[in-house]
């Protein structure tokens, strides 16, 4: 997408949003009467509402009619015709009426269970977590969107795929009025240019090594691993279809040297990051390049340490709110809590590494002592992803 296209899209989006915000929904007092019912379209705000009060006075019944001035709820309408709160107070009120949100996310359902439960206990709103592979989740989301029958209120998939979604106009623009935690998060963890996504977790990869097989002197230099003949011929575990964001980062930092050396070492190609973590811990191979959170699943039960990148490369897991969400407010409330310090601390008790700068990661601290080094976040857009996917194939094709 050209800069002119981006500018036009961004300007059009904000003009549309101003038009949305010019429309206000029913008064809070009118909600119970069904003003927002199933259709979700905005109605003219009611400033004064007649209310009947029945009292008993002197043995008789007296009915009085009084007029109560109420503040109208500011809303706008999404592409599905559903009302969305234009500020967080309205979002919370409408979210409780919706009562449930559907979340398409590649994150493991079991790992996210305590996070989902904490949110449900706090707000009384259920989370329907639909999971699967990144491609599956994205295809399902996009096909439903195009058919006009969206089920998901929100989605998290890999960063290059999420860039497709907001470039195609399928994500809602976010701001601190609607979602306070969006305003609190550092720019490096959100789309501060277009305001369509915010990251939930840090997606890190490291070279882990089995401490029974690798000496501390070897562990001082991760790059030396792939050029050291003792780790060649199957002693390094690697995914043949790696995180292309990490490939982009490594290529930018180290050029071709790393990849050419890696291919010549003939890694133990293992098409599962969970298996890469497990097999390295079991000593099937000495070293494995895998996700931090996959190794974190095993807690402290394996003889594992990791080579120190400095800075530590950190991919992101971006979240978006569906522009055709059937329950947009519950989706926003869910995301706002996930990104808040409370939500991020809850996430940090799992295998997943939070993005909030004040959140603590207690899931597997030996893998990620964040105070030891700087974190270098990266976001891989769709074109960069395609370029480096081809690069990986060209470099590794003789060895795969």
Dist CA 362 CA 338 (whole Å): 16
In a domain, 230, yes or no: yes
Q: Report pLDDT for 11.
A: 41
Residue 18 lies in a domain: no
Residue 181 belongs to some domain of the structure: yes
Least confident residue range of 24-38, 71-85, 242-256, 373-387: 24-38
pLDDT tens string 289-312: 988 888 877 767 889 888 877 778
Domain with 195 in it: 101-400
Is residue 191 a part of any domain in this protein? yes
Q: In this structure, is residue 386 part of a structural domain?
A: yes
Structure tokens at 326: 């059937």
When pLDDT is cut at 50, 70 and 90, the band that residue 18 belongs to is very low
**With bands split at pLDDT 50, 70 and 90, how would you rate the model's confidence at 146?**
very high
How many domains are there within the chain?
Answer: 1
Give mean pLDDT, residues 132-148: 93
pLDDT on residue 123 = 97
Q: Is the pLDDT score of 208 beyond 50?
A: yes
Q: Please state the rounded mean pLDDT for residues 16-43.
A: 36
Residues in the chain: 400
More confident residue, 168 or 27: 168
Q: Mean pLDDT, to the nearest integer, of 8-36?
A: 37
- Report the pLDDT value the prediction gives residue 55, as an integer from 0 to 100: 58
Distance CA 392, CA 400 (A): 11
How much is the pLDDT for 57?
58
CATH number at residue 145: 3.40.190.10
Q: Is the pLDDT of residue 29 over 80?
A: no
Q: Which residue has the tokens 């095993």?
A: 298
Q: What is the mean pLDDT of residues 66-91?
A: 86
Q: Lowest mean pLDDT: which of 11-15, 220-224, 329-333, 372-376?
A: 11-15
Structure tokens at 308: 């120190």
pLDDT of 384 > 80? The answer is yes
> Do the Cβ atoms of 93 and 31 come closer than 8 Å?
yes
185 or 8: which carries more pLDDT confidence?
185
């Amino acid at each position: 997408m050209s800069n002119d296209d981006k500018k036009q899209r961004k300007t059009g989006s904000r003009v549309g949003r101003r038009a949305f915000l010019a429309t206000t929904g029913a008064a809070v007092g009118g909600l119970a009467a069904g003003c927002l019912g199933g259709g979700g379209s905005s109605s003219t705000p009611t400033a004064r509402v007649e209310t009947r009060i029945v009292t008993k006075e002197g043995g008789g019944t007296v009915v009085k009619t009084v007029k109560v001035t109420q503040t109208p709820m500011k809303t706008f309408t999404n592409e599905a015709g559903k009302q969305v709160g234009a500020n967080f107070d309205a979002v919370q009120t409408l979210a409780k009426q919706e009562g449930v949100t559907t979340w398409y996310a590649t994150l493991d359902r079991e790992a996210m269970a305590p996070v989902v439960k904490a949110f449900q206990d706090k707000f009384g709103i259920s989370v329907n977590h639909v999971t699967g592979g990144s491609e599956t989740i994205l295809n399902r989301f996009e096909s439903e969107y195009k058919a006009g029958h969206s089920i998901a209120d929100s989605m998290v998939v890999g960063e290059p795929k999420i860039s497709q979604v907001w470039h195609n106009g399928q994500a809602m623009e976010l701001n601190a009025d609607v979602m306070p935690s969006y305003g609190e998060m550092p720019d490096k963890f959100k789309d501060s240019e277009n305001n369509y996504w915010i990251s939930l977790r840090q997606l890190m990869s490291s070279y882990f090594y089995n401490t029974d097989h690798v000496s501390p002197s070897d562990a001082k230099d991760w790059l030396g691993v792939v050029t050291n003949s003792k780790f060649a011929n199957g002693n390094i575990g690697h995914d043949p279809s790696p995180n292309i964001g990490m490939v982009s980062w490594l290529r930018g930092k180290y050029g071709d040297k790393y990849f050419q050396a890696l291919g010549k070492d003939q890694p133990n190609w293992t098409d599962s990051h969970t298996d890469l973590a497990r097999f390295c811990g079991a000593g099937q191979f000495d070293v494995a390049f895998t996700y931090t959170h996959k190794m974190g699943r095993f807690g402290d039960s394996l003889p594992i340490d990791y080579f120190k990148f400095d800075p530590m490369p950190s991919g992101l897991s971006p979240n978006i709110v569906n522009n055709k969400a059937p329950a947009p407010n519950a989706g926003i409330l869910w995301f706002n809590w996930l990104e808040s310090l409370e939500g991020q601390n809850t996430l940090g008790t799992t295998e997943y590494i939070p993005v909030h700068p004040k959140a603590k990661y207690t899931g597997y601290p030996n893998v990620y002592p964040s105070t030891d080094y700087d974190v270098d976040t990266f976001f891989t857009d769709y074109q960069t992803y395609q370029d480096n996917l081809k690069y990986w194939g060209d470099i590794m094709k003789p060895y795969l």
